[in-house]
Amino acid sequence: MNIEDVWPLFALRLETPRLVMRPIRDEDFPGLVEAALRGIHEPDRMPFGVPWTDWEPERLTRSMAQFHWSLRANATVENWGVSFTVLHEGVPVGIQEMHARNFAGRRTIDTASWLTAERQGAGLGKEMRAALLLFGFDHLGALWAESSAASWNEASLGVSQSLGYERNGVSRAEPRPGQPVDEIRVRVSAEQFVRPSWSLSVEGAERARDHLLGPATSG
């Protein structure tokens, strides 16, 4: 028996032309923390609903591990979340998340992500989101994908638009006290999704489906 038999998601691996994405393993945390501490965004604006990049390094480090451990611990076939380590040239450079609530009924995934600032501007953010959508639509059977971004976050909204997302409302958030922002919600259907020119390589898809959806409903 190996760790993939204990936790089948560890057998999952997505590979794009430039990236490898795999569910976060404990050994990934040091590299992910180092990537986050090198900087993700300009300090005067907060792109996240929870301002975790403002925290002191010790709190950030522990909270990152606790949050992603909690996704493993609380996953059920009705509600789950999977966080992928994003590797570029073998180095952790960010995280791509996928969440679902009542997936059997809603057939919808929600996504969130971050990419270290030093790797931004080269299309990697679009590549990692496209990889997740390909996996969600083609291997899990999702019909819709949803996301959101602060109204000022043109880079994230631009990625969404380029992949076929349409705007789906506005909500108000306050990631930092006294700094409210509008959040733009977006969504894309499997039919609207603008597929990349490259193909996604997937390992461990069947085991991941069984783990997330249950053997009776995967297929």
- Asked if residue 9 is part of any domain, the answer here is yes
Residue 215's pLDDT is 82
Characterize the bridge pairing of strands 79-88 and 179-189: unpaired
- Asked if residue 86 is part of any domain, the answer here is yes
Residue 17's pLDDT is 98
Residue 216's pLDDT is 60
Residue 32's CATH number:
3.40.630.30
Between the two ends of the chain, the Cα-to-Cα distance in Å is 25
- Asked if residue 34 is part of any domain, the answer here is yes
Sheet (strand 108-115) strand order: 166-176, 179-189, 144-150, 108-115, 91-101, 79-88, 19-23, 13-15, 201-203
- Asked if residue 91 is part of any domain, the answer here is yes
- Sequential DSSP letters for 115-164: E-GGGTTSSHHHHHHHHHHHHHHHTS--SEEEEEEETT-HHHHHHHHHTT
> Which residue's structure tokens are 């496209």?
130
Report how many domains make up the chain: 1
> Residue 30 burial by CB count (10 A; 0-12/13-18/19+): exposed, middle or buried?
exposed
Domain range for 99 is 3-213
- Asked if residue 219 is part of any domain, the answer here is no
Give the C-alpha separation, 118 to 138, whole Å: 31
pTM: 0.95
- Asked if residue 201 is part of any domain, the answer here is yes
For each of the chain's 219 residues, which pLDDT tens digit applies? 899 989 999 999 999 999 999 999 999 999 999 999 999 999 999 999 999 999 999 999 999 999 999 999 999 999 999 999 999 999 999 999 999 999 999 999 999 999 999 999 999 999 999 999 999 999 999 999 999 999 999 999 999 999 999 999 999 999 999 999 999 999 999 999 999 999 999 999 999 999 999 986 544
Residue 218's pLDDT is 44
Other CB atoms within a 10 A radius of the CB of residue 152 amount to 13
- Asked if residue 172 is part of any domain, the answer here is yes
- Asked if residue 218 is part of any domain, the answer here is no
